[in-house]
A and B are shown apart, each in its own frame.
Chain A
Amino acid sequence: GNSVTQMEGPVTLSEEAFLTINCTYTATGYPSLFWYVQYPGEGLQLLLKATKADDKGSNKGFEATYRKETTSFHLEKGSVQVSDSAVYFCALTTNAGNMLTFGGGTRLMVKP
């Protein structure tokens, strides 16, 4: 079956620090990979995605590269802001029906 493993949080950083949130996966078939973000009091929203190996998804300064050889999709940002404080979810799907498998989520807290 499919599974997604994320580093446990919370991750606490100072503003302008470098961020990495690790994500690894197991999948039957060829997955598409996603990062979703959940800001306080809101639902999840798509942050970025990659659909094939070596693709890099990027949005709002965040990046993640689809690494098939290491089955990973780590999220990075060069300089975090207080407004990036949220819960980040790594996810994958291997079918056309949008049946997403989510990781457990990683809470990021950025201090001024």
Chain B
Amino acid sequence: ETGVTQTPRHLVMGMTNKKSLKCEQHLGHNAMYWYKQSAKKPLELMFVYNFKEQTENNSVPSRFSPECPNSSHLFLHLHTLQPEDSALYLCASSHPGLGPRGDTGELFFGEGSRLTVL
């Protein structure tokens, strides 16, 4: 148990569906992240939120829409996805970096949401 909870754990959707992934953390962190993990590819950072503000969008297609209503919750809204979007979507949280040599780098990950797009 890392303190980061993702739901649902598994999701199957058609290309015309609209669905959402949810992430919740009770670790007191102010930074939250969405990563995509595909088979045989490096972990891809999608979005970063610091203090509820989006600070990074790593050229993610608009069919993925993040939402961060507060520092404890992060959503990923999915719309008109493609089969190649099937992957494990990982949420993570952390304290924002405290300085160049400060307490950086420890991300706390959820167990992921396994998405299959038919």
Interface residues of A (CB under 8 A from B): 4, 30, 32, 34, 36, 41-46, 49, 51-52, 89, 91, 93, 95-100, 102-105
Residue pairs across A and B with CB atoms within 8 Å: the count is: 78
- B interface, size bucket: 20 to 34
Residue numbers in A under 8 Å from B94 (CB-CB) = 98
Known: A97-B48, A98-B94. A44 touches B109 (CB 8 A): yes
Residue numbers in A under 8 Å from B54 (CB-CB) = none
Known: A43-B2, A46-B106. A103 touches B42 (CB 8 A): yes
Q: Judging by beta carbons under 8 Å apart, are B104 and A32 in contact? A: yes
Q: Judging by beta carbons under 8 Å apart, are B110 and A105 in contact? A: no
| Partner pick for B111 among A43, A89, A95, A98, CB 8 A cutoff | A43
| Partner pick for B43 among A34, A97, A99, A105, CB 8 A cutoff | A105
Known: A99-B56, A104-B41, A105-B43. A93 touches B105 (CB 8 A): yes
